[in-house]
A and B are shown apart, each in its own frame.
Chain A
Amino acid sequence: GAVVSQHPSWVICKSGTSVKIECRSLDFQATTMFWYRQFPKQSLMLMATSNEGSKATYEQGVEKDKFLINHASLTLSTLTVTSAHPEDSSFYICSARDPGQGPKEQYFGPGTRLTVT
């Protein structure tokens, strides 16, 4: 099956700093990647859809200036949480489509646990 990696797997940062999370598709090229956030005991919430070579599409209520997404290549998308606050502490998960596997399935990275102190 398709493999998606994320780095770092966990990070602790201070309020006001920025954190960059990387999402890589390891054995396929992903024209589309998705960024989700999951708070404890809640479901995954789609934050944005990242398209290679173009601007990300953000879901309603997600601040594009706070959550910067860059999808510079077919195997890498990055999410930068700018000026992080404690309420940004969450589990951030990316996923990617493998067009060679099927039109609808998505494969998830292992997630990044962000704690803002």
Chain B
Amino acid sequence: RKEVEQDPGPFNVPEGATVAFNCTYSNSASQSFFWYRQDCRKEPKLLMSVYSSGNEDGRFTAQLNRASQYISLLIRDSKLSDSATYLCVVNIDFNKFYFGSGTKLNVKP
């Protein structure tokens, strides 16, 4: 079983739409959680950390559900520039990071 699982998509949405991605993780000892964004043929860039109480950064909202072992990312008012692959990342201990396979988002005009 993979450490981190994501729906690969693609999610094709119109500009202005709200879209949500989920990610599940298998290790209950996971400590930290992140969403990264990766553009085609580029390195991943940190989008936001995910905190237990949930957190928001502009149009992006991240939630963590430890009991069910999933995290989510909500994007409101989608922009064309949001088109990318979104990677769910889980940190198990100090030096163990596990990446989901990514969810591809295409925002259409």
Contact = CB atoms under 8 A, between A and B. Distances in A.
Chains A and B come from one and the same complex: yes
Interface of A: 32, 34, 42-46, 49, 57, 91, 93, 103-111, 113
Contact of B87 (A43, A107, A113): A43
Given A43-B87, A43-B102, A44-B87, A106 B97 contact: yes
Interface residues of B, number: 21
Interface of B: 31-32, 34, 41-46, 49, 87, 91, 94-102
A58 B108 CA distance: 41
Contacts of A43: 87, 99-102
Contacts of B96: 46
A104 B91 contact: yes
- In this complex, which of A49, A105, A109, A111 has the most chain B Cβ atoms within 10 angstroms of its Cβ? A105
